[in-house]
Homo-oligomer: A and B are copies of this chain.
Amino acid sequence: MKKISKELIGTSTIPIILSVLSKKESYGYEIIQRIKELSNGQIEWGEGTIYPVLHKLEKKGYITSSWKTSGSGRKRKYYNINIKGEQKLVSEKENWTVIHQLILKLWNIEPNLI
């Protein structure tokens, strides 16, 4: 029986970022916009929140980065998820599910257990 450590218990940022990147490569600023859009404006990450996380994920070898210049001439640092990152995402999904199932039990199902 695996123990879930703080690596995921505390944070939803890592599975969210890895999930975004597993669909398509992206860059920090765009990820912030996408999260805001997909949450109907309810989740607004600051830039100071996401950049350190991206750096950490790269340092740990889950994603890679490369500078690209857009047609308009603006420089962007694109991130790509790699195999290790995909594996990490799988385990993060499992962990999230464990926590969510627990929360569902506490909210609705099996009230008679308590």
Residues of chain B with a CB closer than 8 A to A98's CB: 39, 42-43
Give the B-binding residues of A (Cβ under 8 A). 1-4, 9-13, 15-16, 19-20, 23-24, 34-35, 38-44, 93, 96, 98-103, 105-107, 111, 113-114
- Report whether B34 and A114 are in contact in the complex, using a CB–CB cutoff of 8 Å: yes
- Report whether B114 and A16 are in contact in the complex, using a CB–CB cutoff of 8 Å: no
Residues of chain B with a CB closer than 8 A to A9's CB: 11-13, 43
- Report whether B1 and A35 are in contact in the complex, using a CB–CB cutoff of 8 Å: no
In the complex, A55→B101 CA distance in Å? 26
Residues of chain B with a CB closer than 8 A to A11's CB: 9-10
- Report whether B43 and A4 are in contact in the complex, using a CB–CB cutoff of 8 Å: yes
In the complex, A114→B9 CA distance in Å? 27
- Report whether A103 and B111 are in contact in the complex, using a CB–CB cutoff of 8 Å: no
- Report whether A12 and B103 are in contact in the complex, using a CB–CB cutoff of 8 Å: yes
Of A2, A38, A41, most B-chain CB atoms within 10 Å: A38
